[in-house]
Amino acid sequence: MRIATWNVNSIKARLSTVLEVLGAIECDVVCLQELKCETDGFPYMELEELGWTCAVHGQKSYNGVAILSKYPLDDVQKGLSTLEDDQSRYIEALVMAETPIRVGAIYLPNGNPAPGVKYDYKLEWMEALEGHARQLLKQEEAFVLCGDYNVIPGIDDSWDETVWADDALALPETRQAFRRLRNLGLTDVFDMCDGRAHQYTFWDYQGGAFPKDHGIRIDHLLCSPQAADRLSGVEIYSKARELEKPSDHVPVIGTFQD
């Protein structure tokens, strides 16, 4: 089973790009972030015609997350169980494959400018995600938390650490919160299957960032021990950034044995 995470930076503005990439990556499950549309405005018809089952948690103009699956979806939950939040940043579902697996789609707050109320919200959200992950781990089932975490985990995950040192994505408190989440017993799919330095998932639109490879790695898949036992590979699909109307993020794909 191939499971991907991808921040599409507006599903409507980039629908043709999204459809092209979905066809190219040949995944069974794709978690999308930053839809920038309400739930009712999601392009269900175009995706369902291609065989996707869609679970969507949208919001007008901002945020928004979705799970696309080639299998039926069950037990769909919107929002974190540990946080009252009016922003559409989390959706979860059980993928009813022959060997079921639970997936969560995450769009974690950016947190800039930091310090400030936006950064406080980021840290509160990360604490709530940690609490939710604790609850999931108690169920002892295979799950993958996929998303734009807006976290640069370490100094080798950006093209220039000094550029990002004061950014909310790389502040010590951010990295500490991400480590606490991983230290619950979750496996970083990229670290386990690749782990090379300076492999990026995001390049800004300005300053020729992509041709210069001035990127950062902020899109991650974290999985439970039961899912890690099935993990066999990972891919960053950087070709998506070369398209005519790309997102500034690219898909990250984990492969799990059925």
Cα angle 175-202-94, degrees, rounded to a multiple of 5: 75
85 is in an annotated binding site: no
CA distance 231 to 156: 23
Active site residue 85: no
Q: Which of 28, 57, 90, 107 is catalytic?
A: 107
CB 122 within 8 Å of CB 150: yes
Q: Which of 28, 57, 90, 148 is catalytic?
A: 148
CB 141 within 8 Å of CB 102: yes
Active site residue 107: yes
34 is in an annotated binding site: yes
User: Could you tell me the CA-to-CA distances from 25 to 35, 51, 131, 205, 219 in Å, in that order?
Assistant: 19, 15, 32, 23, 16
Buried b (16+ CB within 10 A) or exposed e, 190-215: beebeeeeebbbbbeeeeebbeeebb
110 is in an annotated binding site: no
CB 29 within 8 Å of CB 1: yes
7 is in an annotated binding site: yes
Active site residue 57: no
CA distance 173 to 124: 11
Say how many C-beta atoms besides its own lie within 10 A of residue 16's C-beta: 12
The owner of tokens 């400018």 is 113
249 is in an annotated binding site: yes
148 is in an annotated binding site: yes
Residues marked as catalytic = 107, 148, 249
- Binding site per annotation, positions: 7, 34, 148, 150, 248-249
- Binding site per annotation, positions for Mg(2+): 7, 34, 148, 150, 248-249
